[in-house]
Amino acid sequence: MRLDVVTPESVICSCEVDAVIAPGVEGQLGILPHHAPLITMLQAGELRVRKNGDETCIAIYGGFLEVRPDRVIVLADAAERAEEIDVARAQEAERRADQALADRKGSQADTTRAEAALRRSLVQLKVVDRIRKRKAGTV
């Protein structure tokens, strides 16, 4: 089936795949060819893509997923491939967000931004960790 992962800025992926595992708002969704039509919201998390026995991970930060019998379309708010993630930057963002949440000195808007930054950095680190484990042969 065809997979298209699109953000407002770019096309992240457009390829033929065997399976897609997406972070739905109510849990993980597994999609195989000829899946029943479906439209759902996505939460921040890993979009796992399987093709010919290999698995690729894409960090996505919310959006929508549409499933057709021969196609899956992900309209993501933002997304990045695992190999594009800057681990040091993600770790620093996690540290800053944790600190901002611990201080609780800012407004509600500041807290909401810190929570979003923390979710984003945790997704990035989870995607990178999965790829590292796979390369090491532990997953």
Pick the CATH number of 86-136 from 1.20.5, 1.10.357, 1.10.3470, 1.10.260: 1.20.5
- This prediction's pTM: 0.81
Specify the domain boundaries for CATH 2.60.15.10 within the chain. Answer: 2-82
- CA 117/CA 103 separation, integer angstroms: 15
In order along its 139 residues, the chain shows pLDDT tens digits of: 999 999 999 999 999 999 999 999 999 999 999 999 999 999 999 999 999 988 889 999 999 999 998 999 999 999 999 888 888 888 888 888 888 888 777 677 777 888 888 888 888 888 888 777 777 776 5
CB atoms within 10 A of CB 92: 12
Kindly report the CATH number that applies to the domain delimited by 2-82. 2.60.15.10
- CA 48/CA 14 separation, integer angstroms: 14
Q: Of 59, 116, 56, nearest to 85 (Cα)?
A: 59
Contact by Cβ (8 Å): 29, 21: yes
Helix, coil or strand: residue 65? strand
